[in-house]
Amino acid sequence: MIRVVATTPFDGQKPGTSGLRKKVQVFQQPHYVENFIQSVFDSLQDFEGETLVIGGDGRYYNREAIQTVIRMAAAAGFGRVMVGRSGILSTPAASCVIRKHEAFGGIILSASHNPGGEHGDFGIKYNIGNGGPAPEHVTEAIFARSREIREYRISDAPDVDLDTPGLTRVEDMVVDVIDPVEDYAELMGALFDFDAIRDLFSSGFTMRFDAMSAVTGPYARAIIEETLGAAPGTVVHGEPLLDFGGHHPDPNLVHAKDLADLLMSDQAPDLGAASDGDGDRNMIIGRGRFVTPSDSLAIIAANAHLAPGYKAGIKGIARSMPTSGAADRVAEKLGITCYETPTGWKFFGNLLDAGLATVCGEESFGTGSNHVREKDGLWAVLMWLNILAVRRQSVADIVSEHWATYGRNYYTRHDYEEVDSAAADALMVDLRRRLDVLPGTVVNGLTIERADDFAYDDPVDGSVTTRQGVRVFFDDGSRIVYRLSGTGTAGATLRVYLEHFEPDPARHDLDPQDALAGLIEIARTLPDIEGRTGRRAPDVIT
């Protein structure tokens, strides 16, 4: 039976950079999930009888939330839901399933790289029929609806057995529990030269893939070990855990330190890789050489034609604004456009749909292509494997050659986490207020050439997105970007992105923190980070 339940709005059900993210306890409040899901459904039209894809990264509260979404989808009139077995679907796999089965959309339960567990974070995201995150006008409608919601509709049917593949029903709606890996693995097989990668592994190539006890374990085991023949044990932390083993499932040098240390040691395999909570991020490290995400995007763009799915060449590149300009240099050489978008994958969707861009990336360990409409961690790893299988060089050599050809964009990001929100806001307000007077100012020997607050004009639908981060450009081509995170759940996170271009190959082997030391100092003092936030140093450096 379908019940109509009276409710009152919750504050703050505003989707951020990538969906609604809050502490688990917030989601556990009675009606909280229901209000948000009803707000999503109320913001959509014409889905009667259509298919909704549902899955998550397996974190604490995943199964409970999925049962609620299934009951509400039945009450809303969806004809079918496709749910990953055990509630599992990586974010890129969900995107793949939505596209392949021409679903109306999908609900992804994930807080991505944020920590999980009973006291960790949870999240809900709505993806549209192209498989990508809902664009801004949809997320704004959802938020507006959440502020006036008075009732929601839900079936009182018992829980669905999520662990047994096959068909059941809730009310008139079909529930299809699917293998979470199958469609995705098939797509990867169509894009990459699996035979060449198999040969690479059988030639003695070694790798470690750290799934960080998050969602990519089953995918990586099936594809890298079982299909491509990497040695058993190549995938570590391959079981998705409710709390990710207590770690941040965030593939970077801080949270995947064990992997990074291994790759810098005498026992290093040829390749190290890791993915995040929901499987859309990736980290690539060769023996003795960490590849920054910005460089990885550029190298993938320059070498994509080596993979069968991209052999006709790429049509364009898109990168988020804070991502380094390394990809722009590749685009220039290829004679294609490099689009610069606000942070967050939702801004790539239009460019991909319109065929303007083929590969996209973000400095935050996100890379992907037009094969789905999310960033895709395993895709990036397989792309690197394909490139390595064809070029038969080390990761370090490929990176060095790339820099020799294009120059090196030294890059780093400094994050100040859980800063007092009012202080962080005031810092940004002050920077914005000074935009007009900054040009011409000399700081530590560098002259500020221009400064602005990034705004994006979408070339496809004409929408304008403003206030996407303060950019300060210097006369030597260096750049500092300041923005506040839209994915955190406690206080504010100030992100400071620093970049300096170095054409001279003799100066390509510096530690980025040294190469950027002068700029780092400027970045700290320009908005008086210490005075305003009390922080002397960043919490995370990537």
Q: Does 278 bind Co ion (CB under 5 A)?
A: yes
| Residue 63 interacting partner from ligand VG1, Co ion, none (CB closer than 5 to 8 Å by kind) | none
Question: Residue 533 region, left (φ>0) first, then alpha (ψ -120 to 50), else beta?
Answer: alpha
| Residue 67 interacting partner from Co ion, ligand VG1, none (CB closer than 5 to 8 Å by kind) | none
Give 343's contacts (C-beta < 8 A, 6+ positions apart): 17, 320, 321, 322, 362, 364, 468, 469, 483, 486
3-state secondary structure at position 191: helix
- Contact pick of 22, 63, 99, 113 for ligand VG1 (by CB under 6 A): 113
Strands 479-484 and 80-88, bridge-based pairing: unpaired
To the query of whether residue 213 is one of the catalytic residues in this protein, the response is: no
* Separation of alpha carbons 249 and 364, rounded Å: 13
* Separation of alpha carbons 366 and 319, rounded Å: 10
Q: Does 362 bind ligand VG1 (CB under 6 A)?
A: yes
Residue nearest to ligand VG1 (CB): 112
Give 235's contacts (C-beta < 8 A, 6+ positions apart): 209, 211, 217, 220, 221, 224, 225
- Contact pick of 344, 512, 527, 538 for ligand VG1 (by CB under 6 A): 344
3-state secondary structure at position 295: helix
* Separation of alpha carbons 121 and 119, rounded Å: 7
| Residue 343 interacting partner from Co ion, ligand VG1, none (CB closer than 5 to 8 Å by kind) | ligand VG1
**395 with 388: CB under 8 angstroms?**
yes
Closest approach, Cβ 424 to ligand VG1, in A, equals 13
Closest approach, Cβ 515 to ligand VG1, in A, equals 22
Angle between helices 377-391 and 91-100 (to 10 degrees): 90
Nearer to ligand VG1, 319 or 500 (CB): 319
> Interface with ligand VG1 by CB under 6 A: which range of 192-200, 222-230, 360-368, 419-427?
360-368
Residue with tokens 């400064």: 451
Nearer to ligand VG1, 193 or 362 (CB): 362
Quick note: the x/- pattern for Co ion over 108-147, rule CB under 5 A, is: ----x-----------------------------------
Q: Does 374 bind Co ion (CB under 5 A)?
A: no
Residues 269-328 that bind ligand VG1 (CB under 6 A): 276, 280-281, 320
Q: Does 15 bind ligand VG1 (CB under 6 A)?
A: no
Tokens of 457: 């004009």
Instruction: Count CB neighbours of 236 within 10 A.
Output: 17
Nearer to ligand VG1, 193 or 376 (CB): 376
Residue with tokens 């909280």: 32
Nearer to Co ion, 67 or 252 (CB): 252
Q: Does 340 bind Co ion (CB under 5 A)?
A: no
Tokens of 148: 């006036």
- Contact pick of 79, 477, 486, 518 for ligand VG1 (by CB under 6 A): 486
Nearest to 362 by CA among 373, 348, 381: 348
> Interface with ligand VG1 by CB under 6 A: which range of 171-179, 265-273, 481-489, 531-539?
481-489
* Separation of alpha carbons 532 and 525, rounded Å: 10
Q: Does 489 bind ligand VG1 (CB under 6 A)?
A: no
* Separation of alpha carbons 348 and 182, rounded Å: 25
**Applying CB under 5 A, which residues contact Co ion?**
112, 276, 278, 280-281
**Applying CB under 6 A, which residues contact ligand VG1?**
17-18, 112-113, 276, 280-281, 320, 343-345, 362, 364, 366, 485-487, 495
What is the set of active-site residues?
Answer: 112
